[in-house]
Chains A and B, each alone.
Chain A
Amino acid sequence: MAELDLKGLWKKGESSLSDSEGFDLDKSIQSKSKDVLQKIKFILTIEFWLNNVITTSCSVFYYIEFGPFWGIFTGIVFLIYFFYYSFLINAIKKFDYAGEVKNSLKKIYNYLRFYVLHYKVVLWICFLIIPYVAFGYGFFIGYSGEPNPEWAQNTPQFEFTKSQAYIALGIIIVLPLLITLGCNYLISLIYDRKIKKLKAIVNGLDN
């Protein structure tokens, strides 16, 4: 089929198609966006406010309970979270689909990759590192007997049987690992395909 025929056919197809009838602009504009970046922005905004509430409360509580050092320390953590999330949310707000196609897709691709990395780091910290450190610290206290706070001195001693100890160890070590790997898999399931697809399009435009 010759070159001119392709364009001619395309024009003929254009004039005979009528599926744009019934198009309602007002309804369209007021509908909810299905854009992946908008979904991420929504999730990040929830996290942003959760972090604001939790870290501010912690900061005040630590200040009153443990003194100015811990109060200021949590305050600094709050500020880091605040600016980090503001940066992530603003990056989405500034994004405009009117940019050159290759550059825009590259931006979305880089943003999605960063977002996935962000969640994987959060997951590993929350579900794996923190439980392991907490368990390790508890184990250390249990065996060393130090520090030995007053409340612990009046608590009746409890000792695991061998089988209980294995079960506890299994739960403490295996469960966080399974949760982390499971959540990692879910995140990959949701975003990896889109990331790969965007990469393929950008490469397709490059080559």
Chain B
Amino acid sequence: MVMNPDSFFKDFVEENKGIIYKICRVYANDREELQDFVQEVTIQLWKSSQNFENRSKLSTWVYRVTLNVCLTLSRKNKRRVDTVGLLSTDYIDDTDNTEQEQISALYAAIRKLNDADKAITLLYLEDKSYQEIADILGITVSNVGVKITRVKSKLNDIING
């Protein structure tokens, strides 16, 4: 079946591709896998958009689909590539080196977390409220609070050695 996305869907994905890539990058082991994940997320967003009934916010919907796809597709890291998507070619030339290292360290630290903690971390770093995180993940707000405290501590431990 050939699917032709309408212009609304195209614009919507274009606006949200940053979110999609950010999440996929954390779960993918290499560039090839990253493209596969993004492709699958797009397919599932398109399929799901046919049934979208405005019961949840559009951003919640994007995060749910992206996380569900990434968590389902993600595999155990066979090839340890802590800096996937963070190769030197990914950066514009004038980016400060120390900053690059710090960003790489952050990504590397996130990648060391388990899949559930990665999801919490991503949503926390995306500045989502506890309520939104709870809505996306389907857990209680108090559980979100506990997990974020735990994950922040883990991240600090990893980054600071």
Q: Are A and B genuine complex partners?
A: yes
What's the nearest-Cβ distance from chain B to residue A200, in Å? 7
A102 nearest CB neighbor, chain B only:
B138
Main secondary structure of the interface of A (DSSP, over half): helix
17 further interface pairs, Cβ-Cβ under 8 Å (given A28-B38, A104-B68): A7-B124, A16-B95, A17-B25, A19-B25, A23-B17, A25-B5, A26-B4, A28-B42, A29-B42, A35-B69, A35-B72, A99-B68, A100-B138, A101-B68, A102-B139, A105-B71, A205-B138
Take A10-B125, A101-B64 as given contacts and tell me if A1 and B103 are in contact as well, using a CB distance cutoff of 8 Å.
no
B22 in contact with A14 (CB, 8 Å): yes
Query: Is B65 in contact with A97, judged by CB distance below 8 angstroms?
Result: yes
Contacts of B31 in A (CB 8 A): 19
Closest B residue to A31 by CB, please name it: B39
Q: Is A108 an interface residue (CB 8 A)?
A: yes
Contact A29 B72 (CB under 8 A): no
Q: How far is the CA of A36 from the CA of B73 in the complex (A)?
A: 8
Report the separation of the CA atoms of residues A70 and B56 in the bound assembly, to the nearest whole angstrom.
Answer: 54
In the complex formed, the residue of A with least CB distance to B62 is A98
Q: What does the 1/0 interface line of A173-207 toward B look like (CB < 8 Å)? A: 00000000000000000000100011011011110
Does B46 touch A at the CB level, under 8 Å? yes
Question: Which residue from A97, A103, A204 sits with its C-beta under 8 Å from B116?
Answer: A204
* CA A20 to CA B126, docked complex, whole Å: 18
How many B residues face the partner with a CB closer than 8 A? 70
- Give chain A's interface residues, CB within 8 Å of chain B: 1, 3, 6-7, 9-10, 12-14, 16-20, 23, 25-26, 28-31, 33-36, 96-105, 108, 193, 197-198, 200-201, 203-206
With most chain B CB atoms within 10 A of its CB, the pick from A13, A103, A200 is A13
CB-based contact B36/A17 at 8 Å: no
Considering only residues 83-123 of chain B, those with a C-beta below 8 Å from chain A are: 85-86, 90-92, 95, 99-100, 102-103, 106-107, 114-117, 119
Query: Which of the residues B20, B21, B39, B74 comes within 8 Å of A17, measured between beta carbons?
Result: B21
